Amino acid sequence: MPEPLEPEPLESVPAAFAPHDHRACETRVLDEAADRLAELGGRLTPVRRRTLEILLESHRAMGAYEVLDRLATEGFGRQPPVAYRALEFLVEHGLAHRLQRLNAFAACLHPGRDHAPAFLICRACDALAELPAAPVRAALADLAADTGFIIERATIEAVGLCPVCVKAAA
């Protein structure tokens, strides 16, 4: 066994950028989502659950209309609010994130309380990684504090090349 010692403590190369047992990702997140909703009091109805599953199918962000198409072909409503409401619910409950650079959504891979990650978006393969961004946010908070500005929400998104595509380009 190569490295069974660390379950996923710092996750130096995000799963999104490496081959992995993705089925495990999906079931883990779905389980955590159920737990989290039990605490918060939200209901994971069929549309909502299916929306989360669709987002979870790949480590990338999906547009609302792409999600909607999927939902529609699976027998749910085919009007925009169907997708937007489900996505909004997931975002509000910390189960998904909205990517500003892409006008798109992605499942949250770490549905813990009040985490506020940074995102790395590969422009070549669309892979999306979600990183704990405490130091970045701290630096930003410092900047803002000097000006008297009070930050409520911050968007930290980077576009570039993931390790796989860097290698491929070389």
Partner DNA sequence: AATAGAAATGTAATAAGGTAACACGCGTTG
Partner DNA sequence: CAACGCGTGTTACCTTATTACATTTCTATT
Cα–Cα nearest to 118, from 133, 100, 98, 138: 133
Residue 66 near DNA by CB under 7 A: yes
Question: Which of 34, 124, 134, 139 is the binder for Zn ion (CB under 5 A)?
Answer: 124
Question: Which of 57, 92, 103, 123 is the binder for DNA (CB under 7 A)?
Answer: 103
CA-to-CA separations, 36 to 22, 55, 95, 113, 169, in angstroms, rounded: 21, 18, 9, 9, 40
Enumerate residues 30-59 that contact DNA by CB under 7 A.
42-43, 45-48
Residue 31's region, left for phi above 0, alpha for psi from -120 to 50, else beta, is: alpha
Query: Smaller CB distance to DNA: residue 11 or 84?
Result: 84
Enumerate residues 7-66 that contact its own copies by CB under 8 A.
12-14, 17
